[in-house]
């Protein structure tokens, strides 16, 4: 064990010795709660782009912890900045725990932001939870209520200069007008719609922000012949958009309604990074910008692109787009269940925060890490690598040798950097 342990004490005393020579700050000033930053907000200037560059050979999504660091850089006042960094109990060290079911290590005694729009680490945890809620709900709806399900998608036309906040307001208004319309209610009744679950997705592409809704329509029975209402529903949707001040979507693209197999596919892929959507940086890194991309970028695509921050369509910078997204999305729910529906289908009400913290259940404590050790991991962006090392060492009953080796390596790297700064 290390952290508050022998290994780390050796390290700490070694650090002091060398530190005295190199004149580095004592550990108390190198604290994760107060990491010194360079003019770009990067911790200590140690952060290098090399960790975060795209490979021309294809697309490599960066680790969520690296993307989380990038979100902190773009939104320095957002609570994501404390996520998996700041301690809950400051009198104790940070811990590494191991979730026995998932066979994965995670940080403990650290705050979690629970921001699914902004933080890819929390988002993964939350959407996994939401996905299993959705599939449990549909399963129960089919088995116990002998019901069916349809997937309705609502989109509208938008342009590159339309701010996301305006688009979101318009979409919300148009949706309320649509579902509140007498004729829509009649059609929904005719096809047996009893409940709805509304999902919000946002992409950005050649035509700017593209917020849209996917709605699961839970029906009394398996519906046949719903397609005959499609055109009428599409016209009603177009009218709702126009009344909400949005540009008219086309008859072809504004509204889409599909059968239960599509609804099930939507649920099974809910919140997963779409491999097709994630096909983009190749074009960007190769400079084939004009080619465009049909699917558009997800906000987390933009977050990753913001590291290199090359201009996209219309000269828009990924960093600015992500910041705009973060501001506009505040307070929006990703999923809205019909009133009483969760209770009906025996789905426990859980907040995003609760889901983000769920990993702590059924976990065993493996080790602790001192503030100094954790700061090294943060500064060198190795929090996730360390977790993998601890998990692997534990599984191989290896006495945390690779985890300790990583801390050692970072410690000496830090000293070297300090020494070279002294020589400059
Ligand atoms: Zn978070």
Ligand 1 centroid–CA 284 distance in Å is 28
Q: From ligand 1's centre to the CA of 360, what distance in Å?
A: 14
Q: What is the pLDDT of residues 116-125, one digit of tens each?
A: 999 999 999 9
Ligand 1 center–CA 282 separation, angstroms: 28
Question: Using an 8 Å Cβ cutoff, are 170 and 246 in contact?
Answer: yes
Distance 134 CA to ligand 1 centre (A): 22
Residue 170 Cα to ligand 1 middle (Å): 29
Find the mean pLDDT for residues 3-28: 35
**Cα of 85 from ligand 1 centre, angstroms:** 10
> Ligand 1 centroid vs 113 CA: distance in angstroms?
4
Mean pLDDT, rounded, for 363-381: 95
How remote is the CA of residue 100 from the centroid of ligand 1, in Å? Answer: 22
Contact call for residues 333 and 352 (beta carbons, < 8 A): no
Between the CA of 358 and the centroid of ligand 1 the distance, in Å, is 13
Residue 281 CA, ligand 1 centroid: distance in Å: 25
Cβ contacts of 18-21, under 8 Å, gap ≥ 24 = 18/415, 19/415, 19/418
pLDDT mean over 343-361: 90
Q: Quickly state the pLDDT bin for 397 (edges 50, 70, 90).
A: confident
Where is pLDDT greater, at 224 or 145?
145
- Segment 368-392 shows an average pLDDT of 95
pLDDT, tens digit (0-9, with 9 covering 90-100), for 225-251: 899 999 999 999 999 999 999 999 989
Tens digit of pLDDT for each residue in 47-94?
444 343 333 333 467 899 999 999 999 999 999 999 999 999 999 999
Q: Is the pLDDT of residue 374 over 90?
A: yes
Higher pLDDT, 381 or 399: 381
Residues 163/311, Cβ–Cβ less than 8 Å: no
Q: Check whether 1 has a pLDDT greater than 50.
A: no
What are the sequence ranges of the domains in the chain?
6-112+357-423, 122-349
Residue 381 has pLDDT above 70, yes or no: yes
Confidence of residue 269 (pLDDT cuts 50, 70, 90): confident
Burial class (CB in 10 A: 0-12, 13-18, 19+), 179: middle
- pLDDT tens per residue, range 141-155: 999 999 999 999 999
pLDDT over threshold 50, residue 289: no
pLDDT of residue 56: 32
Please tell me the predicted confidence (pLDDT) of residue 274. Answer: 53
* Cα 78 to ligand 1 centre (Å): 10
Query: In the chain, what percentage of residues exceed pLDDT 70?
Result: 80
**Mean pLDDT across 285-303:** 60
Task: Return the HEC string of the chain.
Answer: CCCCCHHHHHHHHHHHHHHHHHCCCCCCCCCHHHCCECCCCCECCCCCHHHHCCCCCCCCCCCHHHHHHHHHHHCCCCHHHHCCCCECCCCCCEEEEEECCCCEEEEECECCCCCCCCCHHHHHHHHHHHHHHHHHHHHHHHHHCCCEEEEEEECCECCCCCCHHHHHHHHHHHHHHHHHCHHHHHHHHHCCEEEEEEEEEEEEECCEEEEEEEEEEEECCCCCCHHHHHHHHHHHHHHHHHHCCCECCCCCCCEEEECHHHHHHHHHCCCCCCCCCCCCHHHHHCCCHHHCCCCCECHHHHHHHHHHCCCCHHHCCHHHHHHHHHHHHCCCCCEEECCCHHHHCCCCCCCHHHHHCHHHCCEEEEEEECHHHHHHHHHCCCHHHHHHHHHHHHHCCCCCHHHHHHHHHHHHHHHHHHHHHHHC
């Amino acid at each position: 064990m290390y952290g508050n342990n022998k290994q780390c004490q050796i390290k700490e005393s070694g650090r002091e010795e060398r530190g005295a020579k190199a004149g580095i700050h004592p550990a108390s000033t190198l604290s994760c709660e107060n990491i010194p930053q360079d003019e770009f907000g990067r911790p200590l200037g140690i952060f290098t782009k090399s960790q975060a560059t795209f490979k021309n050979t294809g697309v490599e999504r960066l680790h969520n912890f690296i993307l989380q660091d990038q979100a902190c850089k773009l939104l320095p006042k957002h609570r994501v900045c404390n996520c998996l960094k700041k301690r809950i109990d400051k009198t104790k060290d940070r811990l590494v725990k191991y979730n026995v079911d998932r066979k994965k290590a995670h940080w403990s005694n650290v705050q979690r932001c629970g921001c699914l729009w902004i933080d890819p680490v929390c988002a993964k945890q939350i959407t996994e939870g939401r996905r299993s809620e959705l599939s449990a709900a549909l399963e129960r709806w089919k088995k116990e209520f002998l019901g069916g399900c349809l997937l309705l998608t609502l989109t509208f036309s938008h342009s590159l200069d339309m701010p996301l906040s305006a688009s979101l307001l318009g979409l919300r208004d148009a949706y309320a007008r649509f579902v509140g319309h007498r004729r829509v209610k009649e059609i929904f009744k005719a096809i047996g719609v009893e409940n709805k679950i509304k999902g919000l997705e946002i992409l950005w592409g050649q035509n700017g922000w593209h917020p849209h809704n996917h709605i699961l329509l839970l029906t009394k029975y398996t519906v046949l012949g719903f397609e005959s209402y499609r055109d009428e529903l599409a016209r009603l949707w177009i009218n709702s958009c126009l009344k909400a001040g949005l540009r008219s979507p086309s008859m072809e693209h504004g509204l889409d309604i599909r059968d239960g197999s599509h609804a099930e596919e939507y649920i099974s892929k809910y919140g997963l990074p779409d491999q097709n959507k994630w096909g983009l940086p190749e074009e960007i890194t190769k400079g084939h910008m004009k080619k465009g991309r049909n699917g558009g970028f997800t906000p987390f695509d933009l977050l990753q692109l913001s590291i290199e921050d090359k201009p996209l369509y219309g000269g828009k910078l990924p960093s600015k787009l992500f910041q705009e997204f973060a501001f506009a999305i505040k307070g929006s729910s990703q999923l809205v269940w019909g009133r009483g529906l969760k209770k009906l289908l025996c789905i426990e009400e859980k907040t995003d925060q609760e889901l983000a913290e769920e990993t702590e259940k059924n976990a065993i404590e493996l080790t602790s890490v001192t503030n100094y050790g954790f700061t090294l991991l943060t500064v060198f962006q190795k929090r996730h690598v360390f977790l993998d090392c601890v998990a692997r060492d534990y599984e191989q009953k290896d006495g945390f040798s690779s985890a300790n080796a990583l801390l050692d390596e970072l410690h000496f790297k830090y000293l070297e950097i300090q020494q070279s700064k002294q020589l400059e």
